[in-house]
Amino acid sequence: MPRSKCISCGHHEFEAVPVVNKNGQNFCLVQCVACGVVVGAVDDVKVANVVRKAERKLSHFLDSLQKG
């Protein structure tokens, strides 16, 4: 899979910056760590869901290790 590249400077590391808009909604801006150009935005709820799913997978994995 090709690595994501910043459209502005070509850097390939990004960070998610939590922000709150004027309606009080939480979301994350995805921005280049080198130049700060915003390359995307994600719903905070979606981020939480992704983390929760990953946690569930990990605990299943650990369970199966203990049983095995």
Q: What is the 3-state secondary structure (H, E, C) of 17-43?
A: EEEECCCCCEEEEEEECCCCCEEEEEE
Residue number with CB closer to Zn ion (35 or 50): 35
CB atoms within 10 A of CB 42: 13
From the list 5, 9, 46, 48, which residue makes contact with Zn ion (rule: CB under 5 A)?
Answer: 9
Residue 34 engages Zn ion in binding (rule: CB under 5 A) = yes
Nearer to Zn ion, 9 or 19 (CB): 9
Residues in contact with Zn ion by the rule CB under 5 A? 6, 8-9, 11, 32, 34-35, 37
